[in-house]
């Protein structure tokens, strides 16, 4: 019989894996992990071995009795796992580059999780996550699925609606990045800050901010009108919010709101960057090449600081904090993607939302907020409609639904444009979208 927990990480060859390993090392006293299984596909074998060996060196340096296993056999990794974490990218960075570049030809923003890019990442990813869920039902039915794969909200929605796995939590580093950023703005330690989060993944708002229990929302909003304070994640540079807009909104937007509230500026910036230095995926590909060269160094036994440039800062804090809180029934408050269950009145009960929750051994318990404020409610509902239709398109392989989903999305101004983008991107991603090419 195994002593300690078994963690299975799907997409174990990811450049993010050292973040995760660091998290397990830091929290070992409260989270007795005995096995970490890193699993990847054949195309990721070399990266799996490089990052897996770094993971082993990190654990050896920490002097912990954790066995790291590297495998291409997903079923072997899943067998009797206690927690399954997912961090994979169907089609690798080449697919992301197409998601980002193709829409630009049509005057539409190309971005990993928003608009056409978010749709097609979902269409490629949802069938795979549902396959993993079916294997979990067979091999580790009591395990928790902790999903970090984007688009995290759409994937959580798909698992809740189209699988029998109900012990699922979607996770994103944006809320914890907002907490860290606001703590820095206020020059205080992170644990003293709490934010009331509500909305959807990459569409989440801070409805209030507390420092030692006292609301600091007005002070934070005033600070966020400065350009240098306007973005909380390293991979999105905003333009600064108009003070009048932010003071009237009376909520704290996340960095991804730049794509909706500053759509024109962000499109022009993204297009110019794509022409000058490549899309974000192409930039990340170069960065990852440098990271894996670092990871190869047999003397490296820590997470290199260069990883923060990748955009995954605080991932380990968020992921391992969540796993520990479930395992230890901590009942602390964390923002996660989970079933709404009436917490947000204007979103269906059965839908996935990103919201502050009490984390228990039975999973997240959303903190009810009632209705979303009128200024943000419509946009959140529109994106939830987009997600719902996109999930159905992914499961059924219905081209018409894919076109409808993209037309609903506020970043696309015309059904004709939506159809043209969908058709070109379906062809571009054909190897990863068999459900759309059955006949």
Which of 28, 256, 314, 315 is the catalytic position?
A: 256
**Residue 273 CA, distance from chain mean position:** 23
31 lies in a domain?
yes
Contact call for residues 418 and 433 (beta carbons, < 8 A)? no
Per-residue model confidence as pLDDT tens digits over 158-192: 999 999 999 999 999 899 989 999 999 999 999 99
CATH label of the domain that carries residue 108: 3.40.50.720
Q: Which domain holds residue 59?
A: 5-173
DSSP for residue 140: -
241 lies in a domain?
no
CA atoms within 13 A on the CB side of 246: 25
pTM for the structure as a whole = 0.95
360 lies in a domain?
no
37 lies in a domain?
yes
**Cα Dmax for the chain:** 62
Question: Catalytic: 256?
Answer: yes
Tens digit of each residue's pLDDT, the chain (439 residues): 468 999 999 999 999 899 999 999 999 999 999 999 999 999 999 999 999 999 999 999 999 999 999 999 999 999 999 999 999 999 999 999 999 999 999 999 999 999 999 999 999 999 999 999 999 999 999 999 999 999 999 999 999 999 999 999 999 989 998 999 999 999 999 999 999 999 999 999 999 999 999 999 999 998 888 766 555 655 566 678 888 999 999 999 999 999 999 999 999 999 999 999 999 999 989 888 999 999 999 999 988 877 776 665 677 778 999 999 999 999 999 999 999 999 999 999 999 999 999 999 999 999 999 999 999 999 999 999 999 999 999 999 999 999 999 999 999 999 999 999 999 999 999 999 999 998 7
d(CA 360, CA 382): 31
399 lies in a domain?
no
Q: How many residues does the chain have?
A: 439
d(CA 209, CA 216): 5
10 lies in a domain?
yes
357 lies in a domain?
no
78 lies in a domain?
yes
Structurally, the chain folds into a number of domains equal to: 1
């Amino acid at each position: 019989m195994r002593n300690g927990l078994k963690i299975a990480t799907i997409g174990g060859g990811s450049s993010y894996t050292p973040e995760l390993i660091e998290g397990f090392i830091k929290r070992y006293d409260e989270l007795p992990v005995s096995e970490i299984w890193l699993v990847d596909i054949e195309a990721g074998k070399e990266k799996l071995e490089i990052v897996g060996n770094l993971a082993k060196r990190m654990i050896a340096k920490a002097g912990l009795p954790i066995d790291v296993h590297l495998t291409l056999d997903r079923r072997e990794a899943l067998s009797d796992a206690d927690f399954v974490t997912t961090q994979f990218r169907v089609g690798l960075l080449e697919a992301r580059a197409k998601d980002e570049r193709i829409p630009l030809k049509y005057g539409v923003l190309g971005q990993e999780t928003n608009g056409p890019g978010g749709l097609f990442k979902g269409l490629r990813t949802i069938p795979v996550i549902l396959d993993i869920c079916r294997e979990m039902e067979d091999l580790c039915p009591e395990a928790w699925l902790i999903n970090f794969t984007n688009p995290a909200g759409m994937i959580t929605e798909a698992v809740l609606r189209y699988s029998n796995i109900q012990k699922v939590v979607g996770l994103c580093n944006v809320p914890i990045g907002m907490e860290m950023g606001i703590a820095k703005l206020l020059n205080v330690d992170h644990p003293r800050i709490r934010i009331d989060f509500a909305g959807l993944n990459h569409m989440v708002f801070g409805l209030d901010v507390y420092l030692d229990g006292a609301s600091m929302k007005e002070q934070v909003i005033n600070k966020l009108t400065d350009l240098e304070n306007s973005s909380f994640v390293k991979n999105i540079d905003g333009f600064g919010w108009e003070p009048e807009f932010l003071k009237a909104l009376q909520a704290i937007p996340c960095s991804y709101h730049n794509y909706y509230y500053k759509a024109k500026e962000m499109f022009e910036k993204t297009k110019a960057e794509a022409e000058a230095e490549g899309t974000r995926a192409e930039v990340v590909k170069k960065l990852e090449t440098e990271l894996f060269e670092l990871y190869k160094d047999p003397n490296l036994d820590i997470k290199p600081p260069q990883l923060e440039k990748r955009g995954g800062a605080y991932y380990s804090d968020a992921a391992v904090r969540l796993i520990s809180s479930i395992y230890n029934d901590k009942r602390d408050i964390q923002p996660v993607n989970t079933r709404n269950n009436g917490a947000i009145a204007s979103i269906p009960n059965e839908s996935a939302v990103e919201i502050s929750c009490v984390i228990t051994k039975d999973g997240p318990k959303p903190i009810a907020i009632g209705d979303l404020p009128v200024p943000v409610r419509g946009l959140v509902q529109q994106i939830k409609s987009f997600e719902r239709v996109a999930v159905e398109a992914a499961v059924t392989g219905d081209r018409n639904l894919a076109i409808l989903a993209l037309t609903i999305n506020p970043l696309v101004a015309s059904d004709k444009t939506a159809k043209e983008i969908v058709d070109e991107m379906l062809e571009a991603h054909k190897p990863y979208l068999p459900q759309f090419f059955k006949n």
